[in-house]
Amino acid sequence: MKFTISEENHIKGVYHLQQQTGLVNTNALACEMQTKAASVTDMLKKLKLKKILQYEKYKGFKLTEMGKKIALSIIRKHRLWEYFLTVKLGFDWAKVHAIAEELEHISSEELIQKLDDFLGNPSFDPHGDPIPDSFGKIPTIKQYNLMQLPIKKKAIVSSVSNQSAQMLEMLKHYKIGIGTPIQITKHFLFDGSLEVKILKNTTCILSEQVAKNIFVYYE
């Protein structure tokens, strides 16, 4: 089945909200979509008719299984494009969301499969969010950018977004790799650099430029 861009955006909006709240209500979605409650109601009727939503008037709503599948395929596209934009085109990861918001609506299934392969089937987007596979299956752990890791919190390096030879050389020198325990001991505001403790013994300083390419998870 085909969906309009507006329908796709609404489906994705419901998905994100129901991850947190279970049932979603009209005002919340209106707020998420930067639109008005009346417009949301109209859209809900349409999506219910297309069997994307379980929806009872005044009672809130959530996605059907089919709805979830569609949401995940849009999220998959969004995050793969974000990955492409940062890793291949060198975009700052703050800028990629808005562009991926448009790219996620390109319809070709073959395109997204080939893009996925071209990128090496990445599991996480530049913000550390998991990328669903073509069946909608989501990697479980949640990653955080090292710059966002709370001070003193113990974490594990889970991925590095810049895979250039220079970056890898630098990480090798610091003995940082996938699975390395890491902990921020100090955050210098002057240049954004971090003092980090690695493997519970070595301590070193990472520039913001390096740190923002490193992702970690914890718990």
Partner DNA sequence: ATTTATTTTTAGATTTGTCTAAATTTATTT
Partner DNA sequence: AAATAAATTTAGACAAATCTAAAAATAAAT
Residue 206 CA to residue 34 CA, distance in Å, equals 39
Provide CB contacts within 8 A for 166, sequence distance 6+.
none
37 scored as a contact of a copy of itself (CB under 8 A): no
Q: Which is nearer to DNA, 40 or 211 (CB)?
A: 40
Q: Across 69-206, where does the E strand assignment appear?
A: 144-145, 154-160, 181-187, 194-198, 202-206
Contact region with a copy of itself (CB under 8 A), list: 61-69, 107-115, 180-188, 195-203:
107-115
The count of other CB atoms within 10 Å of the CB of residue 11 is 24
**Closest separation between CB of residue 124 and DNA, Å?**
30
Closest by CA position to 64, among listed 14, 119, 16, 7: 14
Q: Which of 16, 21, 45, 168 binds DNA (CB under 7 A)?
A: 45
Provide CB contacts within 8 A for 159, sequence distance 6+.
123, 124, 143, 178, 215
Q: Which of 60, 136, 139, 181 binds DNA (CB under 7 A)?
A: 60
Q: Which is nearer to a copy of itself, 99 or 205 (CB)?
A: 99
Q: Which of 101, 133, 195, 208 binds Mn ion (CB under 5 A)?
A: 101
Q: Which is nearer to DNA, 9 or 73 (CB)?
A: 9
Residue 137 CA to residue 130 CA, distance in Å, equals 10
Residue 198 CA to residue 171 CA, distance in Å, equals 12
Give the neighbor-by-neighbor strand order of the sheet with 202-206. Answer: 144-145, 214-217, 154-160, 181-187, 194-198, 202-206
25 scored as a contact of DNA (CB under 7 A): yes
53 scored as a contact of DNA (CB under 7 A): no
**Closest separation between CB of residue 8 and Mn ion, Å?**
6
Contact region with a copy of itself (CB under 8 A), list: 44-52, 81-89, 137-145, 160-168:
81-89
The footprint of a copy of itself (CB under 8 A) covers 85, 88-91, 95, 98-99, 102-103, 106-108, 110-111, 114-115, 118
The footprint of DNA (CB under 7 A) covers 4-7, 25-28, 35-46, 55, 57-58, 60
